[in-house]
């Protein structure tokens, strides 16, 4: 998109260029994510691809849109404390730490044996002792975890991963920010005080909850955000009615349901009126179609069964701002 700016976050040159370009958003919105985001934010898209490649992270089929929209909407993050809801081992938390944020990475799935190459590079630690095993256990896990394929291939994969883990102990440049791992359900963030975080982000995570739980999650995230703090979540959009997409085990929500669950007033802008036009452009997007992650072709239940390009829903972003307390 634009020329690369100076990088006050002190991150690796060429990475994390987008943050200085944006101002703090002041308008709540619901936005189906247009594929035009890829061209509008080309330098950020390239950074994301480069970082994912270096970390050996494969994207979900629409994640480039989700990540680009979220990062661009978030504004400057250096020095801020940001919750990533349903983070898994996904790219955003590492990207934000590289840009200087203190990230609280929440997921109900355990990351206790997170590979040490992430720990060292992004200064990862557990919120509680149980959230992250000692390095030696993670190293042992890396060498004993089950892998598919013949013996020589398994041996090569394990040895390479072990080498990368060991190399991460070298005194290379670490991210200015850090990642705190917290294994917890988003409905119950008991260890996080009220009004304590600057922002919360969620990449394709909240739709894996039914409406009742999602409503509770939104309230719980708003509890821990400071007044004026941003909640930026990408979910999956449904047209006409809410429906369950079995292949990705997620709900596709209508504009009406998102308004209700995120407690957004009627006048909140939304582009659901362009649903069909945006969906047609998504289905024709060669950049996403031709770069499907390998895991899709190896699975029937990962959202794009068998790796055959056939989008059945589109991603949508919700921007919610926590109001100041009355009185």
Under DSSP, is residue 203 helix (H, G, I), strand (E, B) or coil? Answer: strand
318 binds ligand SAM (CB under 6 A): no
Provide the minimum distance between the beta carbon of 269 and ligand SAM in the complex, in angstroms, as a whole number: 25
CB of 245 to ligand SAM, least distance (A): 12
Adjacent-strand bridge partners of 18: none
Residues 152-211 interacting with ligand SAM (rule: CB under 6 A): 185-187, 203-205, 208-209
DSSP E strand stretches across 120-171: 125-126
Instruction: Give the nearest distance from C-beta 217 to ligand SAM in angstroms.
Output: 6
Binding mask 208-227 for ligand SAM (x = CB under 6 A): xx-------x----------
DSSP label at residue 247: G
Among 19-27, 34-42, 105-113, 276-284, the segment contacting ligand SAM (CB under 6 A): 105-113
User: In 3D, which of 180, 236, 196, 197 has the Cα closest to residue 66?
Assistant: 236
Residue 57-86 contact track with ligand SAM, rule CB under 6 A, x = bound = ------x----------------------x
| Alpha carbons 65 and 281: distance in angstroms, whole number | 13
31 and 69 in contact (C-beta within 8 Å)?
yes
* Cα–Cα distance measured from residue 118 to residue 174, given in angstroms and rounded to the nearest whole number: 10
Q: What DSSP character marks residue 110?
A: -
Q: Which of 36, 109, 140, 147 binds ligand SAM (CB under 6 A)?
A: 109
Question: What is the sign, positive or negative, of the torsion defined by CA atoms of 284, 285, 290, 293?
Answer: negative
CB of 102 within 8 A of CB of 108? no
Single residue of 90, 126, 142, 315 touching ligand SAM by CB under 6 A: 90
* CB 83 within 8 Å of CB 203: no
C-beta of 111: minimal distance to ligand SAM in Å?
A: 9
Stretch near ligand SAM under the rule CB under 6 A, chosen from 102-110, 220-228, 235-243, 309-317: 102-110
> Measured from the CB atom, is 115 or 139 closer to ligand SAM?
115
- Residues of this chain that interact with ligand SAM (CB under 6 A) are 63, 86-88, 90, 92, 107-109, 185-187, 203-205, 208-209, 217
């Amino acid at each position: 998109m634009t020329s690369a700016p100076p990088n006050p976050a002190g991150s690796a040159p060429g990475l994390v260029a987008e943050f200085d370009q944006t101002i703090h958003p002041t308008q709540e919105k619901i936005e189906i994510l247009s594929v035009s985001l890829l061209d509008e934010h080309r330098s950020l898209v390239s950074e994301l691809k480069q970082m994912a490649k270096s970390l050996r992270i494969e994207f979900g089929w629409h994640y480039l849109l989700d990540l680009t929209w979220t990062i661009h909407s978030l504004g400057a993050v250096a020095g801020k404390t940001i919750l990533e809801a349903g983070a898994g081992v996904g790219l955003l938390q590492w990207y934000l730490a590289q840009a200087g944020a203190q990230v609280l990475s929440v997921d109900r799935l355990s990351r206790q044996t997170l590979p040490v190459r992430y720990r060292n590079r992004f200064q990862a630690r557990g919120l509680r002792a149980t959230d992250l095993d000692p390095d030696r256990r993670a190293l042992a896990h890396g060498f004993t975890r089950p892998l598919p394929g013949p013996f020589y291939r398994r041996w090569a994969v394990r040895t390479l991963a072990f080498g990368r883990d060991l190399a991460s102990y070298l005194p290379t440049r670490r991210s200015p920010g850090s990642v705190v791992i917290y294994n917890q359900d988003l409905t119950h963030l008991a260890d996080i005080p009220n009004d304590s975080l600057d922002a919360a982000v969620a990449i394709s995570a909240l739709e894996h909850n039914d409406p009742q739980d999602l409503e509770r999650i939104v309230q719980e995230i708003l509890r821990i955000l400071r007044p004026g703090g941003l909640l930026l979540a990408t979910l999956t959009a449904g047209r006409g009615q809410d429906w369950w997409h079995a292949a990705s085990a997620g709900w596709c929500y209508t504009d009406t349901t998102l308004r209700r669950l995120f407690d957004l007033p009627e006048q909140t802008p939304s582009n659901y009126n362009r649903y069909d036009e945006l969906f047609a452009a998504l289905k024709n997007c060669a950049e996403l179609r031709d770069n499907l992650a390998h895991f899709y072709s190896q699975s029937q239940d990962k959202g794009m069964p068998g790796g055959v390009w056939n989008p059945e829903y589109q991603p949508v972003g919700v921007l919610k701002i926590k109001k100041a307390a009355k009185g």
